[in-house]
Amino acid sequence: MCGIVGYSGHRQAVPVLIDGLRRLEYRGYDSAGIVIAENGGLAIEKRAGTLEVLVQALQGQSFTATTGIGHTRWATHGSPSDTNAHPHTDCSGRVAVVHNGIIENYRFLRSWLKSEGHIFRSDTDTEVLPHLIEQYYRGDLFQALSLALERVEGSFALLAMAIDEPGRLILARQDSPLVVGLGMGENFIASDIPALLTYTRDTYILNDGEMAEVTPDGIKVSDFKGTPVFKEIFHVNWEAEQAEKAGYDHFMLKEIHEQPHALRETLRGRVDENARRVLLDELELDSGLVRNLKKVFITACGTAYHAGVIGKYVIEKLARIPVEVDIASEFRYRDPLIGPGDLVVVVSQSGETADTRAALREARRRGAHVLAITNVVGSSVAREADSVLYTWAGPEIAVASTKAYLTQLAAFYLLAVWLAEERGNLPGDAREGILRALREIDAGVETLLADAGRIAALARRYHERECLFFIGRGLDYAVALEGSLKLKEISYIHAEAYAAGELKHGTLALITEGVPVIALATQPDLFEKTLSNIKEVKARGAEVVALTFAGEYDTEDVGDHLIHLPPTHPVLAPILAVVPLQLFAYYAAVFRGCPVDKPRNLAKSVTVE
């Protein structure tokens, strides 16, 4: 969603702000703007469109300001336009604000402020903030914002500055991420860590209900009333280039190739050296709760939801516990039958997805124990859950999730084996077989990545098709869901995932001469059934790309094109099978000239409903 940057220090502010906004571009936006304290006033430049449009508007101007704030906006209220771009100011033009989130009671506030004589220029919800501050401003921006926030309902990460208080930035966080970067004689603010890494790795991660005053020489964190809050420094271990492309053409390709490393990091220290046990002491899960667990619920959005579908299969298969899996935007409104003694697993790469966070709150409100699987330390989901099982995939910049998804699968395998062990439902040798294979699965991914050229050739063959089908049974169907989404979201080719056994109940009518069908056939107990579905579609003219293990399944009628997976335990096949599908989607998008890392209409983190 929106990106926020702020700077107060000894450098020229404009280059720092633009650099920071560039590193947040992946978050998805449709306009950008900055405001600096210049020549006794607030100088503002803001434009609809990409950051380049803003940079062009700044060309030829010279600035000396050393304090400023910047913003990239993903429109929610008010169309993308210069006027609706942030920053927004009060009537006098002496207070400027940038904001990420939604002010839910902005209509009421806007009409009240208008009745108080305020003049509004934009259609945004955000603009009520500078006018509210103006309403309460008596020379102290912190106090004015503190009073203003008493009137505000909704989510916000906001940053404000006033021309009468040079060098001073005031920020507040509720339901939307904000991080402060600590420097020497300078301090930085951003909505995400990659924007800070050029300058500092020491940060304060603000929590909901916290404000901060930032000047070149100090950072004071407090609650909304001004009561000081002690903050631990969070030292960022990511290398700056980790958030860069590291030589790949796109973040997405880089992140696909980072998957072996991401898997190793996520498994590190969580399987004992004899591969007999899963070590998840980090989970604050009472063993009594686990032993008496009647049902597990999993809820998430998009790709994280697809990881949850795999989670359902493996927890039921290994731990023998019933599992329900729900799209979070459905879960939160369906009055779910959950309560104390239930385990709800929420999955979110960013940890900021609005629907997932709302589902988490709903689960907690009903007394369930919430376990978060997330990739971002300090994210809202991480802080609001009862337990957290972090995926250590490192920053995922591309809008299309790949390495985060793979590490979410790894997390579910760890959780499933751990639950099985806690409940005595999985014999030691079966457990060991899975854990050994899990510890070596990164090598299988490496093998598939080395074969990317063959996948690229298949993508070139099909990249101009109008529609593709992905079919499979059981775990293969769950992987088909993810393969289909990947292709749709970055290549814009329509695709549909279908349970292979369900095709004949209608959708088979769409299978005609030359229609590409990607068939996953990795599960031994379902192979023959899937093979008959492959024959079903081939008989109607489909061109089949089959993913299967080499060897006994290598029959000539499996498909027109075969993608062999390296050997592994069949239950772990999804970790391998998804890799060719990610590469297929990536290359199809490249051949179609699509903006792979920033697909149209999409954002990396959907922090609004």
Of 257, 605, 607, 608, the one binding ligand AGP (CB under 6 A) is: 605
Specify the residue, 43 or 376, whose C-beta has the smaller distance to ligand AGP. Answer: 376
In the complex, least distance from residue 146 CB atom to ligand AGP, rounded to whole angstroms: 31
Check residue 155 for interaction with ligand AGP (CB under 6 A).
Answer: no
Of 206, 400, 546, 590, the one binding ligand AGP (CB under 6 A) is: 400
Segment contacting ligand AGP (CB under 6 A): 348-356, 383-391, 409-417, 553-561?
Answer: 348-356
- The Cα 576–Cα 593 span in angstroms is 27
Of 399, 493, 581, 594, the one binding ligand AGP (CB under 6 A) is: 399
Check residue 329 for interaction with ligand AGP (CB under 6 A).
Answer: no
- The Cα 495–Cα 4 span in angstroms is 35
Closest C-alpha among 110, 43, 44 to residue 78: 110
Check residue 568 for interaction with ligand AGP (CB under 6 A).
Answer: no
Catalytic residues: 2, 604
In the complex, least distance from residue 571 CB atom to ligand AGP, rounded to whole angstroms: 23
Q: What angle do CA 303, 307, 311 make, to 5 degrees?
A: 160
Half-sphere exposure (CA, 13 Å, Cβ side) for 169? 34
Segment contacting ligand AGP (CB under 6 A): 90-98, 186-194, 214-222, 601-609?
Answer: 601-609
In the complex, least distance from residue 384 CB atom to ligand AGP, rounded to whole angstroms: 13
Taking the CB of residue 441, how many other CB atoms lie within 10 A of it? 26
Taking the CB of residue 40, how many other CB atoms lie within 10 A of it? 8
Check residue 299 for interaction with ligand AGP (CB under 6 A).
Answer: no
DSSP 445: H
Specify the residue, 256 or 519, whose C-beta has the smaller distance to ligand AGP. Answer: 256
Check residue 497 for interaction with ligand AGP (CB under 6 A).
Answer: no
CA 362 to chain centre: 20
Judge residue 124's burial from the number of C-beta atoms within 10 Å of its C-beta, 0-12 exposed, 13-18 middle, 19 or more buried. Answer: buried
Segment contacting ligand AGP (CB under 6 A): 3-11, 277-285, 349-357, 412-420?
Answer: 349-357
Check residue 583 for interaction with ligand AGP (CB under 6 A).
Answer: no
Of 66, 187, 349, 484, the one binding ligand AGP (CB under 6 A) is: 349
Q: Residue with structure tokens 């703007």?
A: 33
The residue type at 480: A
* Helices H / strands E in the chain, number of each: 18, 24
Residue nearest to ligand AGP (CB): 302
Strand 543-549 and strand 561-565: the pairing is parallel
Specify the residue, 176 or 356, whose C-beta has the smaller distance to ligand AGP. Answer: 356
Q: How many residues bind ligand AGP (CB under 6 A)?
A: 16
In the complex, least distance from residue 431 CB atom to ligand AGP, rounded to whole angstroms: 29
- The Cα 484–Cα 44 span in angstroms is 43
Judge residue 136's burial from the number of C-beta atoms within 10 Å of its C-beta, 0-12 exposed, 13-18 middle, 19 or more buried. Answer: middle
Segment contacting ligand AGP (CB under 6 A): 300-308, 335-343, 359-367, 576-584?
Answer: 300-308
Segment contacting ligand AGP (CB under 6 A): 313-321, 345-353, 444-452, 543-551?
Answer: 345-353
Q: From residue 514, how far is each of 231, 329, 457, 517, 540 by CA, in Å?
A: 61, 36, 17, 9, 9
In the complex, least distance from residue 373 CB atom to ligand AGP, rounded to whole angstroms: 9
The answer to whether the beta carbons of residues 19 and 54 sit under 8 Å apart is no
Segment contacting ligand AGP (CB under 6 A): 103-111, 116-124, 393-401, 575-583?
Answer: 393-401
Check residue 301 for interaction with ligand AGP (CB under 6 A).
Answer: yes
Closest C-alpha among 24, 112, 132, 137 to residue 71: 24
Specify the residue, 246 or 602, whose C-beta has the smaller distance to ligand AGP. Answer: 602
Where b means 16+ CB within 10 Å and e means fewer, 347-366 reads bbbbbbbbbbbbbbebbbee
Of 155, 356, 491, 533, the one binding ligand AGP (CB under 6 A) is: 356
Residues 303-322, one symbol each (x = binds ligand AGP by CB under 6 A, - = not), give xx------------------
- The Cα 452–Cα 156 span in angstroms is 42
Check residue 252 for interaction with ligand AGP (CB under 6 A).
Answer: no
Residues that bind ligand AGP (CB under 6 A): 301-304, 348-350, 353, 356, 399-401, 489, 602, 605-606
